[in-house]
Structure 1
């Protein structure tokens, strides 16, 4: 990976020093660059064993992307956060994995080259795919360091190939560190990982996803492997989708995880309905991928997320309604049972209001039944994008 970074730096130097090949164009590329960003405020609260804890965190991100220079452009993104207030006396470590964090990190710093229908992107970057995706639901969106190639030569088909060897987590604690409230550096992903992802929409109303991921082991265990497939077909107002995970966590025993799922959704004017069911065989746990955004199980609950333990069956029911323009309410019920635990459930009440194209807010309340000692979690998101 060091060679890749050196290569991108070398190309950048060449771009800067080619005065005779179009310095005016290079200057123009910077002048035509675009600035974007987000200011956000997140308040999280939960109750465990009749004890409440909360944290209020504020921050945001700022991005700059240059204009085009002979097919090249570059971009950077800085994320920053500060804990404005917290009440963690009852459980000091409650939010160390995600929200109890102050500081700043350079999450994106990439060089990109595009020609015809192919794009190569090198450096720190956000990646979105079923088995490799950083979550943006906390103050710090997870990012990766590596190389991503994207091609759309085939009609209605996107092919993505990537190699990543480092990940920036939500916090230093989440990355395996010991520094409470500190930001995450870009930490090594074992001996690196590579993936191939294909999306095809050649047939009307049919969407097909397929992805393979391999994480190269840095121990005596075998490499971790995952294959994800999903097919959805929609004829208004109903869409039916099927998904499958076939994974191997590299362990000597109970390594092969298999999950199958079905999801049926419907949109009737302002009303949306959904019902999903997933089954994981008892042969092994599922490897959902890299990054907290790699959580594509159809039965994932709004806050707790998907359950990927062996011998698990789960279902999810949802109903949403657009009360007025830009104001929506959604009710979600998710329940799951593993081979080791009794059936637990999460009920979500989610309200979202978009004041305008820039400013929005979401409030989510989740209540739990038979999930350890938790009774509820609540979250308030306020976001202003520019």
Structure 2
């Protein structure tokens, strides 16, 4: 396994006295990620012969080891580094036939479907490497880092996380308000703004240009109203699109949670990414609401969302996969690829509880209906099929065994194409994640 980059952590730790580096903190995570699926229905095609636990492409696994460190270099100046190694540990010879991440190049080439299968090789890369400077209530962070904004963010559900090369400024001078300004130059996600949907992180963690010429973002999060958070974001992705995101979340009487989201995506007609076709430059709007209540140790919630016709949906632009919309949270399949796609209406209900000591249980059901998107399918409009109904159950159990966090997810996902039954498909999936943080 290519672990040479881990020496950087050792250098930082051993050099504390020679370079007057203080407050060194080392942390890490070992994670085992496994998923297996079975299919039924005419749409399953050649995959109908694949059952749970086959060592073919319907079963995926990877093992990750990440080690990071932070340190104070000087007064108000700190640094951080995190390196990641990824391996199948030979599981593909016995248990699995594919990997869940780092299998598609930043150029969009899938290293598993092309036959070279290099994604099964050991991989390693520097996930984070940044400097941070604080003056008063203002912090500037420059370098490779995780981001958390509604339309461009780091996803943590997979075996490895996507990150960005960016400059971020945070300011808290205004009462109860955080102001954010960011420029993003590169990233290692495989998403809608470069080469289409992929597998969260590019092969070998390789970084490439974010869209055409990078992107700018500005945001404000205000908590002046008790138990209420209001946020507003604006994005400008050069030669691709501008976008905005508005959201308000409030807690009433200590037990009722309400939320509302509204967002707009406005493609740029000069975009080199979207192409010149007029159908690829239509504005898209999104509206979503949710309500939740805590009753007798159980949290019950409901959410609804609608996305208009348009060219670009509201999935994470870095990956094209997950989304910040209320109706997409906590689902394996009912996420940004379907629920956040243009011309899609969705509703979701769910519940979670910790009544069993040491165990968190949750379950949700979601339905989504995708129309014909104005009669035009676009290159980045979403992975969902036109004029199709989708539904899914997701059941999750999470616990801790000693120092190890364990999560098991079972989902049944149905795809119903209205035009015929030839592509209808039911997918049952089991996902198991074991994580040891240190």
TM-score (norm 2): 0.74
Q: Secondary structure at the match of 1:299?
A: helix
CA distance in 2, matches of 1:325, 1:24: 43
Q: Deviations over 1:164-200 (max 9, x none)?
A: 11101379xx97799x994131111121011012111
Q: For 1:349, which of 368, 375, 395 is the aligned residue?
A: 395
Q: Secondary structure at the match of 1:66?
A: strand
Q: For 1:261, which of 288, 297, 300 is the aligned residue?
A: 288
Q: Deviations over 1:14-69 (max 9, x none)?
A: xx9xxxxxx99984424x21001111111111224222421221122110111251
Partner residue in 2 for 1:3: none
Contact kept? 2:298, 2:354, Cα under 8 Å: yes
**RMSD after superposition:** 3.1
CA distance in 2, matches of 1:26, 1:121: 25
Q: What is the deviation of 1:113?
A: 0.6
Q: For 2:352, which of 320, 335, 351 is the aligned residue?
A: 320
Q: Secondary structure at the match of 1:325?
A: coil
Q: Does 1:44 align with 2:38?
A: no
Q: 1:103 to 1:130 in 2, by over 3 A?
A: same
List 4+ stretches of structure 1 deviating above 4 A.
Answer: 23-26, 87-95, 97-101, 174-178
Q: Secondary structure at the match of 1:86?
A: helix
Partner residue in 1 for 2:182: 162
Q: For 1:33, which of 14, 24, 32 is the aligned residue?
A: 24
Question: Which segments of 5 or more consecutive residues in structure 1 lack a partner in the other structure?
Answer: 1-15, 17-22, 218-222
CA distance in 2, matches of 1:277, 1:66: 44
- The structure that is strand-richer by fraction is 1
Q: What is the deviation of 1:89?
A: 11
Q: 1:181 to 1:258 in 2, by over 3 A?
A: closer
Contact kept? 2:60, 2:97, Cα under 8 Å: no
Partner residue in 1 for 2:250: 233
Question: Which segments of 5 or more consecutive residues in structure 2 lack a partner in the other structure?
Answer: 1-11, 52-57, 105-109, 113-118, 270-277, 372-385, 417-423
Q: Deviations over 1:131-177 (max 9, x none)?
A: 22111211221010021111111111111111011101379xx9779
> Which stretch of the first structure deviates more once superposed, 69-78 or 180-189?
180-189
CA distance in 2, matches of 1:258, 1:126: 27
Counterpart mapping for 1:360-379 below 5 A: 360-370=405-415, 372-379=424-431
Q: 1:103 to 1:138 in 2, by over 3 A?
A: same
Q: 1:145 to 1:131 in 2, by over 3 A?
A: same
Q: How many residues align?
A: 355
CA distance in 1, matches of 2:99, 2:17: 52
Q: 1:165 to 1:267 in 2, by over 3 A?
A: same
CA distance in 2, matches of 1:297, 1:25: 48
Counterpart mapping for 1:173-192 below 5 A: 182-189=203-210, 190-192=212-214
Q: Deviations over 1:243-274 (max 9, x none)?
A: 01111133533520011111001122420111
Q: Does 1:210 align with 2:232?
A: yes
